[in-house]
Amino acid sequence: MSFSSRRRNYLLTPHRRDGLIECMKSMLMHSFVLDALDTTGADTFSHFEMLIDEHRTMSNRLVEEIISGNSSSDSPNLVKGGSNGGAQSCASLQTMPNAIVPSRLKRLVPGIGTFYTRLPLRKAFEAYNAKYGITKRQYYRTHFSRNARPLMRCQNNLTHRIKISPFSIALCISGRFVCISFNEIRHILNLAQIIAMIHPYSQGETCEVPSRSAGSLLGSKFYGNDGTSEEARGKSGSKGHPERPSETDARVLEAWKSMGEDENVDDATAASSCDNNKSRKQQTSASLPRQSVNRRDRSESIAIEESLSLLPSSASMPGPKLICFDGDQTLYSDGANFEKSPKLAKYIYLLLKHGVTIAVVTAAGYEYQAAKYELRLSGLLAYFRERGLEGGDLERFYIFGGECNYLLRLGDDYQLHAVREDGPGGWVNSTKYLVECPGNWNEVEIKSILDRAEACFQTSLTDQNMRATIIRKKRSVGLIPKVDEKIPREALDETVLRIQTELEEAKVSLPFCAFNGGRDAWVDVGNKRVGVQVLQSYLGIPAEETLHIGDQFLLTGNDFAARSVCPCVWITSPEETTYILKSILRLAGVPLMALMNPSMAEEKDATGQQAENGMKAVDFEEAGRRSTRFKMDVYTGEYINANL
């Protein structure tokens, strides 16, 4: 079996798939095969939008019934075993007394979780489609032949048809190549989540969505969940609740559509590569014909942005009030430090300036040794220092190490400081009412979990002949590769699934997280569900105003647990994180060129970088050189002599 086929079959296993995205992809496949994605794709997303609304309504109603103590036999969400009606259609629920009748979405995707906001999926799909043209990925070719025989057959995903006329026989070949992919659905869900948090709409209202025409992103018609336009509903006399048109929101989304991946670059490479990219595009435009969606150029995009009702630099922006980030592969590459991401640093800086609380919830656990966390975030902290971020904004930056075990906050000196655990105002004491809070953990149970995990690691290491080492910390145990070795991904997944099963069968009472880190595997006492919950409680921020951004949302990942306590955005690289933050700022009306002084826009300092507000641009190369003087083993936290 070749590597490609092995990898393809491996991805079919349940722990490497997401139920909701796979369900959406399978339903969209019908439209793709029937060559109807352009006309029915948006309706499919509207259907899922309706299913999510129904799921949220049933979940909220059940919570209200449990709180009020009215969960009785006549409750519409409950069914008695052996009763008629719903029990007949839910045969599997008859054996469970007082079982909850699942929503239609729950039946389609049994592992579906909680939705804290509505998701304008149709609006997000049409905006994404207008920008990337996913419904236009079709190829048609016609060949005429007088001697061809009438036939119709399918081969290699190409449909061959013969049309006979009195004058000629036409052989029409139409091919469909690439269906909407897993990643594209993930991007659409991410965009829908961002739109929902920045421009929320209540039940019974509909979102303003793009026009069906290919040339315009936002039209004058508004479509409901049934795909019927407001004009059509008015003529038919049906009652609808269209949202009042918002010109500003429409123009903001138009600006999002027009922005490119490399827009507003402020690092050293942007200035030198701008002219080269322009000439390269001119040279290749004629030789590489390519069908693409008409986009606005950068100057027009900036003009749209500047004409919006932008927020003052100190004003609080709409949208999430707390944004939590994973560390590795979200803010920086796996096993690396935050050293060369000026755009990402800029967007985090702008979020802090507009009242958003930032928290890095990472599995990296160095206890309360702040210098080691600072080394991992060296470039970001250097950016804050060079930009002169003020004390009030600095204090809204947190880092939660060990999933949920060590909380630190940035101080006026641009250094991290441990947040007090005990006493008045201590984060452990103030969150003890949460059942899973670290303040309620027992040291004996912590030791029991780590002992079981370490024994399972040792067994897996022996069985699979892995060239790895087991290390143990205060509240975690990990399996890391030996020097210059690599552990296969399948072996890491096997190890993680073994430990998850072992601890679940042991019915441990404390929360834990067993996950595949990409190059290693870890078991932590606690998880990111607890970490995000503690931050929400300690900071007084509700779940619907919290956003978690991470890359590990599969069953063997450590971001998966955060889904149950807040909305999430699934990314796969720091570049995607940069684009997500850029979209949040753009849709919220925050000027991405806020740091650029117009009079200084064309001036450059001695390093060749553009000066911002008269200040010297941050030299990330220097930040990288400084971090190499103090190398650290990211697994153990031990410093390494850089001269060796």
Burial of 488 (0-12, 13-18, 19+ CB in 10 A): exposed
H-type helices in 178-297, by residue range?
A: 182-198, 230-236, 247-258, 268-287
Alpha helices in 298-390 (DSSP H): 298-307, 342-353, 370-376, 378-387
What's the DSSP call for residue 120?
-
| 414: helix, strand or coil | coil
Neighbouring residues of 234: CB distance < 8 A, sequence distance ≥ 6: none
* Gap between the Cα atoms of 175 and 157, Å rounded: 7
User: Taking the CB of residue 283, how many other CB atoms lie within 10 A of it?
Assistant: 10
HSE toward the beta carbon, residue 199, CA cutoff 13 A:
28
Strand, helix or coil for residue 359: strand
**Is the four-CA dihedral 216, 220, 224, 226 of positive or negative sign?**
negative
Task: Quote the CA–CA distance of 28 and 601 in Å, as a whole number.
Answer: 46
CB 37 within 8 A of CB 28: yes
CA distance 173 to 158: 7
Active site residue 328: yes
- Say whether 275 is catalytic: no
Task: List beta partners, residue 70.
Answer: none
CB atoms within 10 A of CB 148: 16
The CA-to-CA distance between both ends of the chain, in Å, stands at 42
Pairing relationship of beta strands 639-640 and 631-632 according to DSSP bridges: antiparallel
Long-range contacts of 28-37 (CB under 8 A, 24+ apart): 28/179, 28/180, 28/185, 29/179, 32/176, 32/179, 32/180, 33/176, 35/138, 35/174, 35/176, 37/134, 37/135, 37/180
> Scanning the structure block, which residue is given the tokens 């220097």?
622
Amino acid (1-letter code) at residue 404: C
Q: Beta partners for 395?
A: none
In which element (H, E) is residue 576 found? helix 574-588
DSSP string, 526-560: S-HHHHHHHHHHHHT--GGGEEEEES--STTSSSG
392 Ramachandran zone, left/alpha/beta (phi>0; psi -120 to 50): alpha
Q: Which of 249, 266, 267, 326 is catalytic?
A: 326
Strand partners, 524: 476, 513
CA dihedral 532, 537, 542, 545 (to 10 degrees): -40
Q: Which position among 18, 249, 328, 524 bears the catalytic label?
A: 328
Q: Please provide residue 547's backbone torsions phi and psi, each rounded to the nearest 5 degrees.
A: -130, 130
CA 546 centroid distance within chain: 13
For the annotated catalytic residues, the residue numbers are 326, 328
